[in-house]
């Protein structure tokens, strides 16, 4: 097995470490998958464990997962195609963790970390700005995070970025849509088309954001 393959497998296993799940278990003794969106990530942890904790988790998932693996690959003189493969592997690991029966987060923070680690100095701030616009102006980041993911491959292509980068960003967009559609394997219990549309656009099954994010398991 070559070094590139080993690095890709290691990146998946590292990305699969469920940071939000571990922290929520340790601090509050809860399974974060049973709360709010069910997302094993920073936003759901911020809602149910604490804002500062959620921010710390988001930074770790971005820098400690996404950026770290591609920087290590670059340090080991791996070519761009391998770096891209490693970046996608760490996102897949975060979204579908082998340690949590293939459940996980949505991969936005980890994707941003990969983009930052690859030095994409236009693509990274564009996605951040769209997410912040959604948060500050619209009060909901889901749609704007999706739009950012969809825009980045075209931005990279227009800027003349290497084909590997363009395809990686297209892969990230596909992962974002796929994860939202599948959620964490929850089957729609009502109108399937409506639920899937809500998942893709708003990253939730219901139109009411507040009702969705504060969900808790039945006593």
Domain boundaries, the chain: 3-212
Contact 41, 61 (CB under 8 A): yes
Q: 215 in the Ramachandran plot: left (φ > 0), alpha (ψ -120 to 50) or beta?
A: beta
Q: What is the pLDDT of residues 166-209, one digit of tens each?
A: 999 999 999 999 999 999 988 887 789 999 999 999 999 887 88
Q: What is the pLDDT of residues 67-117, one digit of tens each?
A: 999 999 999 999 999 999 999 999 999 999 999 999 999 999 999 999 999
């Amino acid at each position: 097995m070559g070094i590139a393959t080993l690095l890709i497998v290691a990146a998946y296993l590292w990305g699969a470490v469920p940071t939000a799940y571990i922290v929520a278990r340790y601090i509050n003794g809860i399974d974060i998958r049973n709360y709010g969106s069910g997302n094993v990530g920073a936003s759901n942890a911020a809602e149910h464990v604490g804002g500062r904790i959620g921010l710390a988790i988001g930074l770790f998932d971005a820098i400690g997962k996404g950026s770290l693996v591609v920087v290590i690959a670059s340090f080991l003189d791996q070519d761009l195609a391998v770096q891209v493969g490693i970046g996608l592997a760490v996102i897949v690991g975060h979204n579908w963790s082998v340690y949590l029966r293939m459940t996980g987060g949505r991969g936005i923070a980890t994707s941003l970390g990969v983009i930052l680690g690859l030095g994409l100095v236009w693509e990274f701030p564009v996605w951040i700005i769209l997410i912040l616009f959604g948060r500050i102006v619209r009060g909901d980041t889901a749609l704007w995070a999706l739009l950012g993911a969809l825009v980045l491959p075209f931005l990279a292509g227009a800027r003349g970025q290497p084909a590997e980068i363009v395809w990686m960003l297209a892969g990230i967009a596909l992962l974002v849509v796929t994860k939202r559609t599948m959620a964490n394997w929850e089957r729609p219990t009502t109108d399937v088309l409506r639920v899937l549309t809500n998942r893709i656009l708003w990253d939730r099954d219901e139109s009411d954001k507040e009702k969705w994010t504060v969900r808790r398991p039945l006593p």
